[in-house]
Amino acid sequence: MAAIQGAGRKIVGINITPLVDIVLVLLIITMATAELIARGGIDLSLPKTEQPHPVGARAARVELRADKTLRVDERRVSRQELRDALAGLATAHSNLAVTLAADQRCSWSEVADVLDLARGAGVRLLACEVEPK
């Protein structure tokens, strides 16, 4: 590197302070936008698929409607009745498959509660129903 003559002294190095400042600002911007992208990146709408999967021969259908009512095979039930009905079916049929048809307006926590209830009743094969596109 060539020395630059000016005002009676030689400058032998490069001042990297502005470069470090720019890199730190870019790092802060990247960190802030990464958090915003991660938070907003889970906007899912899953009720429709192009290739719906058929369910096996012995299946029970559980509905979770928008008004939070539960139904098993078109019969309205409470949470306890749902647990009892699924436990009885799971005992009678070891290969019982339960499909959950949840309204789009239901929250994920409500759907997870019903799935947890089915697991607690002994059901091992669970599926969520979707509509074809």
What domains can be seen in the chain, in order of their start residue? 57-132 (3.30.420.270)
Give mean pLDDT, residues 109-121: 90
Give mean pLDDT, residues 88-107: 86
Give mean pLDDT, residues 70-95: 88
pLDDT score for 60: 85
Residues 6+ apart with CB under 8 A from 125: 56, 95, 96, 97, 98
* pLDDT per residue as tens digits for the range 25-56: 999 998 888 876 665 544 445 566 666 555 44
Helices 108-120 and 79-92 cross at an angle (nearest 10°) of 40
